[in-house]
Amino acid sequence: MRILLVEDEPNLGAVIQQSLSREKYIVDWVQDGLEAWDYLENPQIHYTLAILDWLLPGLSGIELCQRLRAQHNALPILMLTAKDRMEDKVIGLDAGADDYLVKPFVMAELRARLRALQRRSPQLRPQQLQVGNLRLDYGTATVSIQTAGGDRQVIPLTAKEFQLLEYFMQHPNQILKREQLMNQVWEIQADPTSNVVPAQMRLLRRKLAEYGCPQLLETVYGLGYRLNLPHVQK
Ligand code: CA
């Protein structure tokens, strides 16, 4: 679940990014409308949702909405703005926004509105991902495992472990390169030279091993990593 956050107020942007990162979203935060457009147009990046401020340097949130909709891009969009007059809401919704939140707002409302948008999102259908005996639930941002006794047990994952496992579950039995994981699972501002991918892989593997899946994520030497689905679980 990757969100593009376009907000030019540094304090507010930082608070939103921090809050949503805790909810297991990957949050790319930019402060300029033109820069935002570069990311939206990048075919390598797949966003689940966008949060757009109205007044921005470069391109406004309204212009970003209009450009996306002109390209028939159905990305769910939440507009953020201090404008609270009825006419402004109409302009925002007519430009193609799916929802609208007036500043100042409480973070709990923003999170609830994002969950609601996510439930309606064509990008997130189905709302669950079942791979082998693992099940990822987008509504609760959890992964659970079917135990030998037939119960489901939620694996307590950190935000990054969840995001990493989600990406593997979306690409079972495929070799995923380290750079690919870096680009798809980490924020765009992350340092690509750091060793975060192998470090996170170790943590995720350790956790999966605790829950009875020690062999699920294989290192394919010199190539990358692969989530191996045993045939019996088909
Ligand atoms: Ca602004």
> Is the CB of residue 146 less than 8 Å from the CB of residue 154?
no
Query: With the CA atoms of 179, 157, 134 and 206 taken in that order, what torsion angle do they form, in degrees rounded to the nearest 10?
Result: 70
Determine the pLDDT at residue 233: 42
Determine the pLDDT at residue 232: 47
Q: Ligand 1 centroid vs 68 CA: distance in angstroms?
A: 19
Mean pLDDT, contiguous 10-residue spans, the chain (234 residues):
96 96 94 97 92 96 96 94 81 90 94 89 77 91 90 94 95 94 89 86 95 91 90 47
Q: Ligand 1 centroid vs 74 CA: distance in angstroms?
A: 23
- The rounded Cα 87 to chain-centroid distance in angstroms is 32
Structure tokens, 188? 């765009």
Which are the contacts of 166, defined by CB distance < 8 A and separation ≥ 6? Answer: 1, 129, 136, 143
Q: Could you list the beta-strand ranges (E) of 126-200.
A: 128-131, 134-137, 142-146, 152-155, 175-176
Determine the pLDDT at residue 122: 67
Q: Ligand 1 centroid vs 25 CA: distance in angstroms?
A: 22
Q: Could you list the beta-strand ranges (E) of the chain.
A: 2-6, 26-30, 49-53, 77-81, 99-102, 128-131, 134-137, 142-146, 152-155, 175-176, 217-220, 224-227
Q: Ligand 1 centroid vs 94 CA: distance in angstroms?
A: 20
- The rounded Cα 123 to chain-centroid distance in angstroms is 11
Determine the pLDDT at residue 59: 96
Q: Ligand 1 centroid vs 9 CA: distance in angstroms?
A: 6
Q: Ligand 1 centroid vs 85 CA: distance in angstroms?
A: 16
Q: Ligand 1 centroid vs 209 CA: distance in angstroms?
A: 46
Q: Ligand 1 centroid vs 73 CA: distance in angstroms?
A: 23
Q: Ligand 1 centroid vs 23 CA: distance in angstroms?
A: 24
Q: Ligand 1 centroid vs 53 CA: distance in angstroms?
A: 6
Determine the pLDDT at residue 124: 65
Q: Ligand 1 centroid vs 126 CA: distance in angstroms?
A: 34
Determine the pLDDT at residue 234: 42
Q: Ligand 1 centroid vs 188 CA: distance in angstroms?
A: 21
Determine the pLDDT at residue 231: 58
- Count the Cβ atoms, other than its own, within 10 Å of residue 19: 15
Omega before 192 cis (within 30°)?
Answer: no
Determine the pLDDT at residue 188: 86
Q: Ligand 1 centroid vs 56 CA: distance in angstroms?
A: 5
Task: With CA atoms as reference, report the closest residue to 200 among 181, 187, 220.
Answer: 181
Q: Ligand 1 centroid vs 130 CA: distance in angstroms?
A: 40
Q: Ligand 1 centroid vs 54 CA: distance in angstroms?
A: 6
